[in-house]
A = this chain, B = another copy of it.
Amino acid sequence: MKNQEHILIIGAGLCGSLLALRMAQRGYKVTLMEKRPDLREEIVDSGRSINLAFSDRGMKGLRLAGLEDKVLPLCIPMNGRMIHSADGQLFMSAYSGRNHEYINSISREDLNIMLLNECDKMPDITMHFNQKCTGVELETAKATFEDYKTQKETHYQADILMGADGVGSALRKSMLDHRKFLFSYGQDFLTHGYKELSFPASADGGFLVEKNALHIWPRGKDMMIALPNLDGSFTVTLFLSWDEGKDSFESLNSDAAILDYFEREFPDALALMPNLIQEFKENPTSPLGTIKCSPWHAYGKVLLLGDAAHGIVPFYGQGMNSAFEDIDVLDKALNKHEGDWKAVFKAYQDERKEDTDAIADLAVDNFHEMKAHTARPIFQEKRKLEIAFENEFPQEYFSKYSLVTFREDLRYSEAMRRGRVQDKAILNLIYDGKFSESMTLQEKLNLVKQETRKMLHDDEVVEGLEEE
């Protein structure tokens, strides 16, 4: 009989439950510890966003675990951004010029339940809920948990400890507090916070606005978005400054101030929000932050994955997707180095860190793009041109958004490098009036390619010289 190594995973959220499944599929004995109650038995107010954008990189992770068919029924395709302009106009901006490329709205809870049910089917996975991690010994992979309900303390001795315990990771905190190695760590907050609100379903259970879109109300400094849920409702999220400028969470401190703000900025949405005032006052306002750290592992015994290793802001819809992709990258490192955990962890971080740093930075960029650029003519012109390129030359052109979201074969860091330069090239060509009316689309594409190539060359010369 095989000598099974025992992996203890902290966190049975999206990342932890898929990780448990995959590790059990690989033959490990897995214990999965979750701080919250079992959300299949109790309503859990997670304090996190209700629905998420699910796309190709996330699917890669689920496919690895054989779950592609299980997730599809949970998805609502969103083909593009439905932009609600300040003057009440609607403008649909597709995510891609290739019709088969879109993102999906998915319920965090539904997806997590599906994953936990799959874990239940694996005899080598044991799950415990209401277990708060209160201490970790990094050198020996020992961990202590306290039961929220009984206050009983339990000690576990595992072979390997994996922290998939989210942005507030207990494992990461013990690595930061540990004084025996240098731990690089950053927490970086935006000036804005967010609050979840909602549109109800229509009386007959239908959708009050376009179902297959991610709705955006870009207002330059602030922004509101809405994602569809399977029951016909929408989860609405307001992104607003904490305390700066004319309107802020601080200034919206009365029913009148809230109403006035929505009447001024989002009148069409206000008409769909019968419970606005109550929701605004009762729902929490939460921070938006980026977490980066290194190393993700220690002593060949512990490893951080998902948000615990790299918390990102939600504006590229890549938080869950990057966590699921982590599992795919870890799986490949295991294929190469199984049996030597130090080598596995090192290979995993060497491959992955650059990419999660990239998606973290891209997500912050996209905050500015969504709240401001989507409303402005030059960026709309760029977007129209890119959609036309993708539609007419589907094998030749990929926008930055497509590179990041739909090209799961490409690393985030490479998608960022190419995408940023391409954006710079197109914006300059438009700004400098280099596209003439008489040019064909093919000629315009050639111009973009030529300018992008020149800029990439200039960057590559410097990067190449620096790396030698």
Q: Shortest Cβ distance from A39 into chain B, in angstroms?
A: 28
A187 lies within 8 A of B189 (CB): no
Which residues 169-223 of A sit at the B interface, judged by CB distance below 8 A? 182-189
Residue numbers in B under 8 Å from A432 (CB-CB):
461
Considering the chains assembled together, what is the distance between the CA atoms of A424 and B461 in angstroms? 8
Which residues 337-362 of A sit at the B interface, judged by CB distance below 8 A? none
For residue A423, CB closer than 8 A to chain B, the reply is: yes
Q: Shortest Cβ distance from A178 into chain B, in angstroms?
A: 14
Residue numbers in B under 8 Å from A187 (CB-CB):
183-186
B462 lies within 8 A of A428 (CB): yes
For residue A437, CB closer than 8 A to chain B, the reply is: no
Considering the chains assembled together, what is the distance between the CA atoms of A461 and B425 in angstroms? 10
Set B188, B292, B424: member contacting A462, Cβ < 8 A: B424
For residue A427, CB closer than 8 A to chain B, the reply is: yes
A458 lies within 8 A of B428 (CB): yes
Considering the chains assembled together, what is the distance between the CA atoms of A289 and B187 in angstroms? 16
Pairs A–B under 8 Å by Cβ, sample size 5: A182-B287, A373-B466, A423-B462, A424-B458, A427-B461
Q: Shortest Cβ distance from A293 into chain B, in angstroms?
A: 10
What class of interface size applies to chain A in its complex with B? 20 to 34
Considering the chains assembled together, what is the distance between the CA atoms of A372 and B466 in angstroms? 8
Residue numbers in B under 8 Å from A379 (CB-CB):
465
Residue numbers in B under 8 Å from A373 (CB-CB):
465-466
Taking beta carbons and an 8 Å cutoff, which residues of A are in contact with B? 182-189, 242, 287, 289, 292, 368, 372-373, 376, 378-379, 423-424, 427-428, 431-432, 455, 457-459, 461-462, 465-466, 468
Which of A376, A423, A428, A455 has the largest number of chain B CB atoms within 10 A? Answer: A428
B431 lies within 8 A of A368 (CB): no
Q: Shortest Cβ distance from A324 into chain B, in angstroms?
A: 27
Q: Shortest Cβ distance from A72 into chain B, in angstroms?
A: 37
Residue numbers in B under 8 Å from A372 (CB-CB):
468
Q: Which residue of chain B has its CB nearest to the CB of A459? A: B424
Q: Shortest Cβ distance from A377 into chain B, in angstroms?
A: 11
B465 lies within 8 A of A431 (CB): yes
Q: Shortest Cβ distance from A376 into chain B, in angstroms?
A: 8
Considering the chains assembled together, what is the distance between the CA atoms of A461 and B430 in angstroms? 10
User: 7 extra interchain contacts, Cβ-Cβ under 8 A, other than A185-B186, A376-B468?
Assistant: A182-B242, A184-B186, A184-B187, A184-B189, A372-B468, A424-B462, A428-B458
Q: Which A-B residue pairs are the 4 nearest by beta carbons?
A: A186-B186, A182-B189, A184-B188, A431-B461
B427 lies within 8 A of A465 (CB): yes
Considering the chains assembled together, what is the distance between the CA atoms of A461 and B187 in angstroms? 30
Considering the chains assembled together, what is the distance between the CA atoms of A107 and B93 in angstroms? 62
Considering the chains assembled together, what is the distance between the CA atoms of A368 and B287 in angstroms? 36
Which of A183, A187, A292, A368 has the largest number of chain B CB atoms within 10 A? Answer: A187
Considering the chains assembled together, what is the distance between the CA atoms of A289 and B184 in angstroms? 9
Considering the chains assembled together, what is the distance between the CA atoms of A424 and B184 in angstroms? 29
Q: Shortest Cβ distance from A240 into chain B, in angstroms?
A: 14
Q: Which residue of chain B has its CB nearest to the CB of A290? A: B184
Residue numbers in B under 8 Å from A287 (CB-CB):
182
Residue numbers in B under 8 Å from A468 (CB-CB):
372, 376
Q: Shortest Cβ distance from A32 into chain B, in angstroms?
A: 30
Q: Which residue of chain B has its CB nearest to the CB of A193? A: B182
